[in-house]
Each structure stands twice: as C-alpha cells, then as structure tokens.
Structure 1
Amino acid sequence: MRKVLLLTIGMFALGFDAYVISGLLPKMEETFKISASQAGQAVSIFTFCYALAAPVFATILAGKPMRNILVLALAVFSIGNGASALAPTFSTLLMARAIAGIGAGLYSPLAAAAAASLVPGQMRGRALGITLGGMSTGTVAGVPLGLFIAEHLDWQTTLWFITALGFVAMIGIIISFPDFPASAPPSLQQRFAMMAKGRVAAIISVTFITSIASLGLYTYISTILDNLKDTPSLAPYLWAWGIGGVIGSFSVGYFIDRTARPKMLMAGILTIMAFAMFCIPFALPFPILSFLPFVLWGAMGWASQAPQQHELLRLQPNHGAAVVALNSSANYLGSAVGSALGGIVLLAGLTPSSLPFAASCLVLAALLVQCLIMFSKKK
C-alpha cells in the first residue's frame, strides 16, 4: 500500500488543480482584462483535454514501463501548470491549461490501473478507493488552501504550488515505484470491439450519465443557493460536499472488498445520490439538515468511480489502462456536458431551484441502466 500512496500524491495534485481554477477565475479576469465567459474557457479547455488525453495517450503509451509513463504524465502536468503561472497573455494561458489537462488525463487512469496491479485481487477495491481519495482530498484541502494563497499573494503562486506538488510526486515515483510494463495497447479493432461489448458500454454510460448529473449540478451550487436560500457564504456547502467526497472515496474500497459485489454497491450509491439531490430544496430551510444532502451527494459522487473501475478491470483484464481511461473520459465529458446543459436549461427558463430535481431524475436514469447491467444474464 505504500506505493499506492505515492500515486495518491499525484492524484491530490490533480484534484487540487481541477477544482481550484474555478475559484481563481475572477483574479484571472483582472490580470488579463477579460470577461467571465472568456475566463471560463480556462476550465473548459483543461477538462476537454483531460477527457481526450485519457484514452488516446493511454493507448499510445501502453506497453511501455508504467513508471516511465507516470513520470512523463506528471512532468507534462507540472510543466503545464508552471507555464500557466508564467503566461503573459490569455491565449498562452489557454495553451498551458491544455498541456496540464493532457498530463492529468494521462496520469489519472494509469494511476488507477497501476494501483490495482500493485495489490492482491481481494484488496483491489481498497487500492482504487485510496487512489481516488487522493483526488477528493485535493479538492477538500487543496482548494481552500489555493484560494487562501491567491488572496494573500496571487493566483500564479497557487499554480506554482500545484507545480511543486506534481514534481514531488514525480520524484517519489522515480525513486520508489516498481518498473513493470503497462498492459499491451489494444488495436483499433480491439478498441471498437471493447466498446461494442454491451456490458462495457453500459458501465461507461452509467458513468457518463452520473457525471452529467453530479458534476453538472456542482457547477451551479452558487446559483441554486442564491435562489433557494439567502446564505452569506457558499464555502460551508462546498466543504460539506468535499468532506463527503473524502469519506466516500476512502471508504468505498473497503465495501467493494468486503462485499465483492461492486455492481450492487453502485446501485446503492446511485439510489442515495438521487435521494440526496432531490432533498436539497427541502433541507435548505432547516439549519441542522441543510448540509446533509451535500455530504451525501459528495460522498456518493466520489464513491461512484471505484466500483465502475473495479468492474471494468474485471471485464478487460488485459487492457486495464485503456478501459479505465475510457471511463475517466466519460466522467470528464459528462462534467462538461452537465455544465453546458445546466446553462441551456436556465436560459430556457427553468429556475435554479429545479436543477436538483432534474439532476435527481438523471441519476435515476443511470440507476435504471445499472439495474439492467445487474440483472442481465451475462456475468
């Protein structure tokens, strides 16, 4: 497990980088004299490149020593963040964010596949949970720290801090990580065949729909709270969501290993997530209960990845990195689609208070697909 913790440092840096940028956008607007919609592209391009890099580069580099690929990914990620901090123009910043997204998209699925390879089969769920927990911890601990640094110094210093974290993880992997090959890359025909398999496609579809609902709704937390409750600060609700995420991501591996039924566990996760989202408008008026839906939503959202990865690795043991990369891409593409859909429905006249209900319905659709997976005859 010590080597799995090395991978977790890199995942911490990824979680830190992916979520802190949204909080830095107002300061970027001031620096580059741009509008809020333009600044938002810094988030979009990172997410888009993250999603594309995962399957493309994992396939291109598969078969090479895993340690070398992980080091390369962290180097690209760190260089991208350093270049972001040095960017003299907004166009340069966008190119740097794209580079950081490519590095993150390569590292994340390979780190998950490597963690699963380092432990016995009965501990695979725990290893995946710890690795994903690094990313959720980066969100909970890193984002407030990054915003604190930006407020007292500048937003570039926050990115330099993330750069340093990436290099620390890279050095740790160089020194202590075992050198074993990634799984051989699947051919183009094999990749199409992988996606054509109903069960693999269905699992990735569940990930995609869940991400549209969960990460899409996260984008509009501030708007929802402004519409439903006169709250002086958004931070407590973000903390509640993030703390739930840490609890969910670190505990889900134990339940996977204990029950050995990741499909059933995923169904339970989706059920609780749908209930939590549905309850948001009803719980907000009550101070004691108002944070509970956010804790449950964060916990289930972050916990949902490990059972999916576990099942995909079981179905495609010879192409683990590639299939986990596809799942990672579905997750981040779902985030981008969810944000876009949320904006579209708000422009169309849907009130922000309706978004939790819409997201809950999407999660129920994912639950329906999950039930079909569970009760289909193929094992």
Structure 2
Amino acid sequence: MYSRLLILTLGTFSVGTDSFVIAGILPEISRTLGVSISATGLLITVFALSYAVLSPVVAATTAHWPRKRLLLGGLVVLAIGNVLTAVLPSYGPVLASRAVAGLGAAMFTPTASATAASLVPPEKRGRALAVVMAGLSGATALGAPLGTVIGSEVNWQATLWFVAVLAVLGAVGIGVLLPAVPPAPAIGLRRRMAPLKDARIGFTLLTTVLVFTGLYTNYSFVAESYDRATGGSGTVLAALLFVWGLGATVGNLGAGRLTDKADPRWIIATAVTVAAVDFALMPLTNRHLATAVVAVFVWGVCGWASLVPLQHRLITVNPAHATLTIGLNAAATYLAVSASGLTGAAGIALLGAHRLSLFGLGFLVLGLLSSAVATRLIRRGAGRAVAPQT
C-alpha cells in the first residue's frame, strides 16, 4: 500500500516543484526572454490560475475515466508543459506553456488525493492523504531549492527539464505499481456540481481560501519581510525557506496521523490559531535570524497542518463526490496562491514589509471564523449533500 502511495507522492513532488521553483529562476528567465521581472512573474500566476480554474472542471468532466489513466495523463501533460517552457523562444508562447503545465497539475493532484483515500480503510485515510501531500510540502524544502541550484549552475531551461524528468519518473512508477482504480459512476455535469450547494463544503472551501491567502500573503514577499534577519543575503534567505519547507513537511505528516485519531476541526482550529499568534509576533521575530528561524518553522508547520484535515473533512462530508471536492479544494488553494501577490502588495502599501504578517493575520482570523461556521453546520447536519444518481 505504501509503495503505491509513495509513487503518488513522487507525482505531487513534481507538481509542487513546478509550482514553487519558477520564483527562484525568475531573473534568469526575465533576461533570456527580454521582459520585466513583473511580466515574468505572470508565469507563476498563469500556472496557479490554470490549476485553480481547471481543477473542478477536470474533476467534473473526467469522472468516468479510470483513475490510473487520468493520473498518467496529468503527469504527461505536466512534463509536456515544462518541456515547452524550456524550448519555446519567446514570452507569449512560454506564458501559454505554463497554462499547459497547470492543466497537468489540475489533472493529477486532486485525483492523487482521492485515489490515496480510496486505497486505505477509513481509519487510515488521514495518513494516506498526508503521505501524498508530503510531495507538495517536500517540494518546498527540497524540490524548489534543488531546481533553483540547477538553474544557477546550468541554466533555467535545465530546471524545467528537471521537473519534466520528475513527472516522467512518476508516470512510469504509476504505470508499473498502481493498480487499476475504477472510475466514479457516470452522472451528469449538473449532478456533479451538486456539492457546491452544500453549505458545509462551501464554508470548508472558504476556510481554505482565507487561510492560505493569509499564509501566502507573507510568503510572496518573504525576502522583503525578513531582510533585517537575512541582511539581504540570498543564501540566508534560501536557508530560511528550507526551514519553512521542513516545517511544512513536519506539519503535513503530523497532521495526517492526528487526523486519523482526533476530530479534524480541532486540528484545523489549533493549527490556524498558533499560526495567527506566530504572525502577530512576526514584526518582532523577523528582526533577528535566531527568532526568524523559529517563526518560519512554526509558520510552515501550522500552515500545512491545516491542509490534510480540510481535505479529510470534505471527503467525510460527501464521500461520493470526493474527487470533485478535493479538486475544488486544490482550486481554492491555488486561488489563494495566485491572489497573494496582490494581497501582499496591498499589505506592504498599508503596513510596510516588516509588518506584512499583520495583514495576513486578518485572513487567518477570518479563516478561523469560516471553519467554525463549517463545524457548526456539520454538527447540525445542515446543507445536506445531494446524493449522486446514475
């Protein structure tokens, strides 16, 4: 079972690396394509928006596909998108290639989460989700830094080839090791979208949007927020980001085990509350390297500790629509990531870079309120899900 889950993890590792690595090679891409840094930054936005918009569409329109075929297809499309980014000569086509890569990610990650949940008994579902999502959190600690090093030592195109190779290796592993997973029942598009009428699901997705907007508002401008602690050193900043990614991996895996033993609502509430306290103290802790290391680690742990219980809540509320609701949650996450550049810029304009965490804190508090509403609805049985009909 775990060998199959680890193969899915390799796939999410390639997706996560693709999501985060572009930020580390933006200057090189900008110089090669002859466009500004701000224009080059749209490569990140296009990938995130493609993922966010297409995840629920893919989940709704491919539910009748065998899961193994969809997983393989997603990694192949991801690899193709990265190869195109590496070989295309001008900005416009390169920008379009990032949308292709986003489509591959949208095909793979929600399907991988739903497949992992289906491969294990319910009492081990949290751990299975955590193992697969460890690919995303691990990519922040290892994949993105390694890809950045490849870009600096060779060229940025080599970084994209590296991601493509990861995707191909994941596809080969899935082709060899993953058993056939039957598709969902064939139902109409309107019936597939019925979970959106469920208030429990709606407020859980809103929680994801608010919490991850808060978390990534600070991450998008982490260099500016922590320049006092890093002294402007890119190497020290990279080390801080590694600590953040290490914390993300610890939080993700720890939350997976806890979710199988405790009520997910308490895990979500605790993780977001501790993150909020951490953010409230950041204008002080981001002054010195020692306190910055602690703050960044806590940020990574608590931020990613909320992801698995949110997914688990969606699957538990409506198991019949697990693939769709997980896809919607992935869309919500990447909507938050794509919006964080705007919210971060707004926060800096209002409060300054060193107090940016206080702006993100507002979103975390709203996320706590949204999660509390979802919990109350779940306990009351409100917003009952619509059962699928063939």
Alignment deviations for residues 17-51 of structure 1 (CA, whole Å, 9 cap, x no partner): 11010111100011111111111111111111011
1:240 aligns with 2:249: no
Alignment of 1:256-335 (within 5 A): 256-259=259-262, 261-335=263-337
Shift of 1:318: 0.9
Given that residues 202 and 369 in structure 1 are in contact (C-alpha distance below 8 angstroms), is that contact kept between their aligned partners in structure 2?
yes
Aligned AA (1:334): A
- What's 2:254 paired with? 251
Alignment deviations for residues 90-123 of structure 1 (CA, whole Å, 9 cap, x no partner): 1111111110011011111100000000011110
Q: 1:46 to 1:338 in 2, by over 3 A?
A: same
Give the percent of matched residue pairs that are identical in Structure 1 and Structure 2: 31
Counterpart Cα distance in 2 of 1:356 and 1:99: 33
Alignment of 1:348-363 (within 5 A): 349-363=350-364
Counterpart Cα distance in 1 of 2:364 and 2:186: 33
Computed over aligned residues only, the root mean square deviation of the Cα atoms, in angstroms, reads: 1.6
Shift of 1:305: 1.2
1:5 aligns with 2:1: no
Shift of 1:13: 0.6
Counterpart Cα distance in 1 of 2:232 and 2:189: 52
Given that residues 46 and 95 in structure 2 are in contact (C-alpha distance below 8 angstroms), is that contact kept between their aligned partners in structure 1?
yes
Shift of 1:300: 1.5
- What's 2:210 paired with? 209
Shift of 1:335: 1.4
Aligned AA (2:82): N
- What's 2:144 paired with? 143
- What's 2:346 paired with? 344
SS in 1 for 2:108: helix
Given that residues 217 and 339 in structure 1 are in contact (C-alpha distance below 8 angstroms), is that contact kept between their aligned partners in structure 2?
no
SS in 1 for 2:151: helix
Q: 1:163 to 1:278 in 2, by over 3 A?
A: same
1:18 aligns with 2:3: no
Aligned AA (2:188): S
Counterpart Cα distance in 1 of 2:249 and 2:185: 33
Q: 1:186 to 1:356 in 2, by over 3 A?
A: farther
With the length of structure 1 as denominator, give the TM-score of the two structures: 0.95
Greater CA drift, 298-307 or 16-25: 298-307
Greater CA drift, 174-183 or 50-59: 174-183
Greater CA drift, 246-255 or 188-197: 188-197
Counterpart Cα distance in 2 of 1:264 and 1:162: 36
SS in 1 for 2:260: helix
Aligned AA (2:380): K
With the length of structure 2 as denominator, give the TM-score of the two structures: 0.93
Alignment of 1:157-172 (within 5 A): 157-172=158-173
Given that residues 278 and 295 in structure 2 are in contact (C-alpha distance below 8 angstroms), is that contact kept between their aligned partners in structure 1?
yes
Name stretches of at least 5 consecutive residues in structure 2 with no aligned partner: 382-390
Alignment deviations for residues 176-203 of structure 1 (CA, whole Å, 9 cap, x no partner): 1111223236534334531121111000
Counterpart Cα distance in 2 of 1:184 and 1:274: 41
Aligned AA (2:259): I
Counterpart Cα distance in 2 of 1:71 and 1:217: 34
Q: 1:186 to 1:303 in 2, by over 3 A?
A: farther
Counterpart Cα distance in 2 of 1:234 and 1:28: 20
Greater CA drift, 56-65 or 190-199: 190-199
- What's 2:222 paired with? 221
Aligned residues: 377
